[in-house]
Structure 1
Amino acid sequence: MISNSHSAPRTLAPADAWLKRAACRDVEPEEMFPDSDAVRIKFAQTVCAACPVTRACLVLALRAEGKAGRDSRYGIFGGLTPRQRHRLHLELRKRRISP
């Protein structure tokens, strides 16, 4: 019998590895969850605009929010406001596309 004392190298990154590359990782969380203040919303969207993982972030939010209504969505994810994500969810559902 052959005994192997070492493990195979990791070839796949953990599903949430992209979070370490998120532009908002060093931003105070409340900055990414602005109320209806247009200036704060624009700041959060500016952070997202410079982010290399915007798409992954948006997909995570859409999957987590599921069928939640417009008023049950919070924060800026993937550069979109809760209202924008709700509209996108409805459009994707209409086209039968899952995030």
Structure 2
Amino acid sequence: MSWEQFATCHVENVDGDLFYPDSYTSPAGKKQVEEARTYCNRCPVANACLQHALDKEGLKDIKSRHGIAGGTTPGQRIGISNKKKRLAPAA
């Protein structure tokens, strides 16, 4: 079994479009992000979802990232990725 099967959005059969707002900054977009986060905030696998998104997105710029994952917006995931790069031990 994969972690996705335990995701609140999957278990409750939430329309996936909720997690892909047209805008993250417009009033309607902000409302949609908050609604999506209500599912993420009570999801038992939100951390796995976030890690999956970070792994999948890699070092792509913000324009190539989409959707709410693990309760985060694409911009927030850029910040997380940048912080991880700064904290990574030097090789």
Task: Give the TM bin, normalised by the shorter chain.
Answer: 0.7 to 0.9
What is the TM-score of this pair, normalised by structure 1?
0.78
The within-5 A match list for 1:78-89 is 78-89=70-81
Contiguous gaps of at least 5 residues in structure 2: 24-28
> Following superposition, which runs of at least 4 residues in structure 1 exceed 6 angstroms of deviation?
none
Over residues 7-44 of structure 1, what are the superposed CA-to-partner deviations in whole Å (9 max), with x where a residue is unaligned? xxxxxxx5xx1111101111111111112211101111
1:24 alignment counterpart: 9
1:35 alignment counterpart: 22
2:5 partner letter = K
The within-5 A match list for 1:1-99 is 14=1, 17-25=2-10, 26-36=13-23, 37-96=29-88
Cα shift at 1:46: 1.1
1:21 partner letter = F
Contiguous gaps of at least 5 residues in structure 1: 1-13
Higher RCO (CA-CA < 8 Å; seq separation 6+): 2
Report the aligned-residue RMSD: 1.2
What is the TM-score of this pair, normalised by structure 2?
0.85
> Residue 81 of structure 2 aligns to a residue in which SS?
helix
Q: Number of aligned pairs?
A: 82
Cα shift at 1:89: 0.5
